[in-house]
Chains A and B, each alone.
Chain A
Amino acid sequence: MLSFILRRLFLMVPTTLGIALVVFTIFHAAPGDPATVMIGAGTGGQLGQDTDVEGMVDKFRRIHGLDRSLIVQFFDYVGPLNLDRDGVPWFSSPHTERSTRQVKLSDGIEIDEGKVMRIVHLPKTSDVDAERFDKARDVLSDEAAGGEAWSVAQRTLVAGGEQARPALLSGLHLLAESAASRGAAIGRLIGALTANTGADFSVPSERIEALGGVARIRACFAWYYANGGYRVQNTGADWWGGLLVGDLRREMQSGREVGSELVKRLKITVPLAFSSILLSYLFALPLGIFSARNHGKRRDGLVTIALFVLFAIPTFWAGLMLILTFGKTGMDLLPVVGLHDKDAADLGPWAYAWDTLMHSILPVLTMTYGSLAYLSRQMRAGMMDTLQQDYIRTARAKGLSETKVIYKHALRNSMIPVLTLLASVLPILIGGSIIIEKVFDVPGMGRYAFDGLLKRDFNIIMATTILVGVMTQVGILLSDITYSIVDPRIRHE
C-alpha cells in the first residue's frame, strides 16, 4: 500500500508538469500577444493617445522575461534552475544580446552606436563594491561636488577596472536624457571611462551635430558591448527556483510572492470547501438511502425530482438568488458580502466566530447543493444496486431487521462508488469557488484566481491552476485509498 501511494505521488510530478505545459501552451498559443493583453488589462484600458504603448510592452516583456525563447521560459518556470540568473550561458534573450547598430556617415565611413540602457553590476562584484562605484559615479556626475571630490571619485572608478564600468555606463544612461544640459558631467564620466579602459570614445563631428552628447554616450555603449560587457540583470535570486522547488514566482504587477499569497487565500477557501464536502456527504448518504429504501414510492419520486432539479441550477444563479432572498432586498436575514463584517476585528472571539459562521452560511450552501444532488443520486443508485445482491436476500431471509440489513450489510458496499466521487467533487468545489467567491465577495483562492485572470497575470494563473490540478490528483489518490479501506478486497500492489 505504501509503495502504491509513493508510486502515485511520484507519478503526480510528470502530470503536474504536463498541466504546467498545457497552461503555458494556452498562454502563448492564444491569439494576441500576452504582454499586450497584460498591459491592457493592467491599466484597465486607461491608455492615453500619446502613451508609448510599444515602449511599455517592450519593457514589460523584458522585466518578466517574456522576450526569451519559449523553451527557456518554460524551463525557467519549472525549474529547478533559475534561468534568469547571471552567468548561465545558454539563456539568451534578444534584449540581453548587445544591441549595436551601424550608422553610415556621409563620407561613407560606418561607425557603431550602442543602445543606451541601464547596465547592472557584474555577478562577481560584491554589494559593497557596487555601492562604492555607484557612489563615486554619482559624485562624478554631480556639478556641485567640486574638483577634489571628482578626482577622488575618478581614481576609485579607474582602479575598479572592469567591475567599475557598469556603474559608469549606468551613469551615462541616466544622463543621456538630459544630455544637452549635462555636457560637463557626461564629459567627466567619459573621461573616467577612457582612463579606465584606455579606449578612444571620440565621435565624428557629424554625429555630434545630429545627436549632441548622446552620440558619445552611444559610442561608449558600442565599445562596451563589443568588448564583452555583461548586460544580464543580476536579480540576486538563488540558483534554485521554479515550480520543482516550490517557488511559484511573484505577481507580475505588485511583486508579491504568489506562494505566500496562495497560502493566505487557501486558509479561507479550504475550510469552506471541506465544510461543504462534509455537509453534502452528511445529507447525501441518508437521502440516498431513504430514496433507495422507498424505491418506487411517491416519496422517492419527489426526492429524485428535487435532486434532479437542484443539479441543473447554475451555481452563480443559485448564489444570486440566495442573496436576493436572504439579503437586504429580501428577508434581510443573513449577511451576503465577504466573510466578516467590517468591524469584525474588534469583536470578541465568540462574536467573531458567530460572525464568520453567519457569513459563511450562504457560500457553503451554494457550494453544497450541487454536489449534494450529485452524491445522493449516486448513493441511491449504489444502494439500489446493493439491495438486489444475493447476500442481502440471504440476510433478509435470516430474519434480520431491515435496519440491520441496510446499515450493517448494504451500506458499506453501496458507499464504494460514492466515496470514489470525492475525487471529482473536490476539484469541482475548488473550480467552482471562483464563481462562489466572486458572487459573495470572499477573498479566497477562487477570488485570487479570478483577479489573476482579470489582470492576465501569468504567474497567478499558473500557480492557481497547478494547485487545483495537484488537489485533483490528491483527491483521486485519496479516493483510491479510501476505496481500499472500505473494500478490503481491493488491494493496490
Chain B
Amino acid sequence: MSDPQQEPEGGVYSKDYWDLVFEQLGRRKLFRVGMGVLALLYGLVIFAPFLAGDRPFSFEGVDRAAYGSSLNSLRAVTNGMLKLVEQPDEAYLAELEQAGTLGRDGVPQSREKALVLEVDALELRLDVVALYLPDGASEERAALAAFREKAAAGRQAFGGGDTDLATALLGEAKDLTRELRKSLRPLDPKNPDRGGVALQSRRTLPLWDALWPREIFFMVLWVLLASWPVWNRLLNQIALKGDRERIRDWRRRKAALVLGLSVFASLGWYAAFGDGDDMYKNGPHKAGLISGAIVALPEGQLLGEGTGAFDPTWPPLTYGLAETHTEEMFRPPTWWWWAEIDEAGRYVRGPKSASEENTGFTAAVTPVDVRAGEPARNSKMRHLAGVDELGRDFLTRLVWGGRISLTVGILSALLLTIIGVVFGSIAGYFGGRIDVAIMRLIEILQAIPAFFLILMTMAFIPADVISPIFAIVIVIALIRWTGVARLVRGEFLRLREQEFVIAAQALGFSNQRTIFRHVLPNAMGPVLVSAAFAVAAGILTESAVSFLGFGIRPPEASWGSLVNESKNAANWWIQLFPGLLIFITVTCYNLVGDAVRDALDPKMKL
C-alpha cells in the first residue's frame, strides 16, 4: 500500500508554493521552539482569569450578606417603582434636571425606561433571595412568587396606560415587602433561638460568570490554533482521505472554520450568560469568607445545621488583580532567601529586617494576612514574583499585564500592515504623481526616529480622551507603516511589469480586481515577514513608551509600565520579571519572523 501523502489517487499532484513553505517551516527547530513559547505565552494571558483571580471556579455555600441586603432592599426598590408610576412626567424630568443628569448617557430619560431599570434591579434581588431559600420552604417561596407577580402586574398595568391600577398593585406589593422581610428573615446560626429561615447552600460558578464573551472567543481560538497540528492531520487523513488536491482547497475553509467556531462560541456564550465582570473589581468571596458574610458549605446543606465543610477551588494564583495586601508591600519573591516573615510581620533576614540595618526608623509591622485560598505566610508559592508597591501579587499583575502588551503588539502590527499595504500598493500600482506624493510623505516620516515621534504623540493624547491602549496601537500604526509601504511598493513595481499582470490588464480587468486578485497575493510574502517583526517592534515600543510614563497608565498595566513601578533597584523583582517576559516574547517573534523569511524565500537568507 502506498503512502497517500506521496501518491495521491487521481491526478498528478505537485507541491505548490505554500506546501513548500509549510514544509520548510516544519523542519526548522527554532521556528517550532518560538511558536511553542509564543503559544504558551498567549495561552497564559488568554486564560488569565483561570490562572490568576480571586473568584473560585465553583463555590458551594451561602452568601448571607447578599441575601440579607437583597431582602432588605426589596421595599426600597418597590417604593421607587411606585414613585415613578405615581409622579407625572414633568416631575420626573424636573428631578433629573435638579440632579444635573438631564440628557446624560446612561441615565434613563423617561419614566418607562427608569421603570425597566427598577424592574431589573428587583428581579436581581428576588433571584438572590429565591436562590438561598431552602427547598422545603414552600410557603415562603409562594409568598415570594406572589410578590413577584404583583410587581410584574403593576409594571404591566403601567405599560398598558392604567396608572391607577399600577399604583394600586405596586402599593400592595410594597405592603407585601414588610411581611416578606419578616417571614423570610434568615436564621442567624449564632442565635438560633431568634428564629428565621435556615438558608440552604447553593452552588454558584463565580469565575465562569465573570468571563466576557470576547474572552471565550480568544480561548476557543487559542485552543483551536494550539491543537492545529493534531486536528489538521486527522482532518486531512480521515475526512479528506489524504487527497492533496482537496487539502489544498480546504486551506481557506479551515481558517474560516477556526474563526467561525470561535465567533460562534463567544456569541453563544453571550446569549447564554451575558456580559462578564470588570476585572478590576474584587470578587466578594475572599473578603466574605473571612468576615463571615459568605459561608462555604457543601451544596444542599442548611446554614446552621450543615456539618461538612466545603473547600472551594481557586485559581492557582488566588489574588485579585486589584487585591491589596498592604502588610506585604514590596515583599520579595517568596522563594527568595530574604522573603521570610515572622509571625509579627517582620522580615527574618535581609536588608528589610530591622536587625541587620537599623535606620532609626521603625515601620509599624502588621502580621501577614493570609486570606481564604491563599498559600501560607512563608510558603514558597505565596508570591512567586514578589509583591508590588500596593501589596498586589506581582505574578498576577504580570499575567494580566501581558494581555495588554501582547494585544498592543498584535493589533499595532495588524493595523500598520494594513495601512502600509494600502499606501504601498497605491503608490506602486499607479505610480506617477501619487507615487511621488506618498514617497515624499514616507521620507519625511522616516526622517524622524519613529520612537521619538510615537513618544511625542502619546504625550499629547490625554488619557481621558482616548484609552491609552487604543491610542498607542493607533499611533504606532500611523507612524510605523512606512516600512511596509516601501516594501509593498517595491514588490508592486516589480510585479507590475510581469506578464501575468500585463495579461490581466490586457483582459480588461478592473484595477481593483488586478490588484486584489493578481498582484497583492504575490506581494504578500515579505509583508508577512515584516508583520512578524512588527509585532516584536510594537511590543518593544509599547513597553518603552509605558516605561517612560506616556503609555499605559494605572489601573491598567502592561509589562512596560510594570517595570516602572519601582525606581529602586532594591526591588529587583519589579524590574526583572516584566523585562524578562518582554525579552522572551520579542526573541520568539524574531525567531518566527526569521524562519518565515527563510521559508518564504531561501534567497533572502541572512
Contact = CB atoms under 8 A, between A and B. Distances in A.
A30 B569 contact: no
Contact of A316 (B447, B544, B591): B544
Contacts of A18: 440, 443-444, 447
A186 interface: no
B447 A469 contact: yes
Nearest to B441: A18
Interface in A290-326: 308-309, 311-317, 320-321, 323-324
A15 B443 CA distance: 8
Given A23-B456, A434-B452, A434-B548, A314 B543 contact: yes
B572 A32 contact: no
Interface in B559-606: 560, 563, 569-570, 572, 575-576, 578-580, 582-583, 586-587, 590-591, 606
Contacts of B580: 317
Contacts of B547: 314, 316, 435
B447 A472 contact: yes
Given A15-B444, A431-B452, A317 B460 contact: no
Given A314-B540, A314-B544, A428 B575 contact: no
Given A312-B536, A314-B582, A316-B544, A30 B455 contact: no
Interface stretch (B115-123, B355-363, B394-402, B461-469): B461-469
A37 interface: yes
Interface string A471-490: 01100000000000000000
Which of under 10, 10 to 19, 20 to 34, or 35 or more describes the interface residues of A?
A: 35 or more
Contacts of B444: 15, 18-19, 22
Which of under 10, 10 to 19, 20 to 34, or 35 or more describes the interface residues of B?
A: 35 or more
Contact of A308 (B446, B549, B587): B587
A25 to B, nearest CB: 10
Contact of A30 (B449, B450, B460, B536): B460
B457 interface: yes
B551 to A, nearest CB: 12
Interface stretch (A133-141, A397-405, A449-457): A449-457
A313 B544 contact: no
A456 B579 contact: no
Contact of A472 (B449, B540, B560): B449
A446 B579 CA distance: 22
Given A312-B583, A434-B548, A456-B460, A468 B575 contact: no
B456 A465 contact: yes
A328 interface: yes
A339 B18 CA distance: 55
A327 B451 contact: no
A329 B579 CA distance: 18
Contacts of B462: 31-32, 37
A27 interface: yes
A375 B550 CA distance: 30
Contact of A22 (B445, B466, B536, B570): B445
A23 B563 CA distance: 29
A377 interface: yes
Contacts of B124: none
Interface string B535-547: 0100010011001
A315 B544 contact: yes
Contact of A323 (B440, B446, B550, B569): B569
Contacts of A311: 590
Contacts of A340: none
Given A317-B579, A321-B575, A453-B455, A472 B448 contact: yes
A453 B449 CA distance: 16
Contacts of B563: 316-317, 320
B481 to A, nearest CB: 14
Contact of A320 (B457, B459, B466, B575): B575
A321 B536 contact: no
B548 A321 contact: no
B51 interface: no
B453 interface: yes
B32 to A, nearest CB: 16
B569 A431 contact: no
A381 interface: yes
Contacts of B455: 434, 453
Nearest to A381: B606
A453 B590 contact: no
A32 B591 CA distance: 40
Interface string A126-163: 00000000000000000000000000000000000000
A319 B578 CA distance: 14
A469 B460 CA distance: 19
A430 B449 contact: yes
Given A37-B460, A453-B455, A468-B452, A324 B575 contact: yes
Interface string B427-446: 00000000000001001111
A22 B548 CA distance: 22
A83 B591 CA distance: 54
A314 B583 contact: yes
Most buried by A among B451, B452, B560, B578: B452
15 contacts: A32-B465, A308-B590, A312-B583, A314-B540, A314-B544, A314-B579, A316-B544, A317-B543, A317-B582, A324-B569, A329-B570, A434-B455, A435-B547, A456-B459, A465-B456
Interface of A: 15-16, 18-19, 22-23, 26-27, 30-32, 34, 37, 308-309, 311-317, 320-321, 323-324, 327-330, 377, 380-381, 427-428, 430-432, 434-435, 438, 449-450, 453-454, 456, 461, 464-465, 468-469, 472-473
Given A312-B587, A313-B579, 7 more contacts: A22-B445, A22-B453, A31-B465, A320-B579, A323-B569, A454-B549, A472-B448
The list of the 9 closest CB pairs from A to B, nearest first, reads: A317-B579, A431-B449, A18-B444, A30-B460, A312-B586, A32-B462, A312-B587, A31-B465, A427-B449
